[in-house]
Amino acid sequence: MKNIKIVEVVECKSNYVKVINCLLTQLTPNASIFTKDDLNAIISSDSSHLFLLFYHEKVVGMLTIGHYKCPTGIKYWIEDVVVDKEYRGKRLGFALLEHAKDFVSAQQKGVLMLTSNPSRIAANNLYQNIGFEPRDTNVYRMLFEDDE
């Protein structure tokens, strides 16, 4: 696709922190403030990879891949996929997911997974159209918060 560049973030830039915060507010209404320390933690981790999507040289999307090894194999998880609302419908989400698939396929064997709220109809259609298969499982979570 023309005018698209997807790059892994390898250095902490203040403008990255600002744009990530803008994208996070579009992803979830409960988004915590993303800080330089948060970005540095991702950059310094061997198990987290944050990718930014540039469209006409402006950051308009992001995606994170996390991975770990467990007894059943290596798991790669796609997290925090978001394209700026002003740029949706241009196949930019598709480009991000294709990039994630290429990134993981270049690694060791493993499985690539993601979760998505069923109410996100367009996103779920995209995931299935790109080759992800729904699993018959439940996802549970337990939230731990700081005592601050």
User: In sequence order, what are the beta bridge partners of 110?
Assistant: none
Q: Which residue has 């023309």 as its token pair? A: 2
Which band of pLDDT confidence, cut at 50, 70 and 90, is reported for residue 14? Answer: confident
Confidence (pLDDT) at 147: 54
Q: Name the nearest CA neighbour of 47 among 77, 20, 82.
A: 77
Record the pTM. Answer: 0.91
CATH number at 4-129: 3.40.630.30
Taking the alpha carbons at both ends of the chain, their separation in whole angstroms is 46
Q: What pLDDT is recorded for position 47?
A: 97
Residues 144, 100: Cα–Cα separation, whole Å: 29
pLDDT in tens, 50-103: 999 999 999 999 999 999 999 999 999 999 999 999 999 999 999 999 999 999
Instruction: Give the start-to-end residue ranges of the domains of the chain.
Output: 4-129
DSSP helix/strand/coil, 113: strand
Residue 44 has pLDDT above 90, yes or no: yes
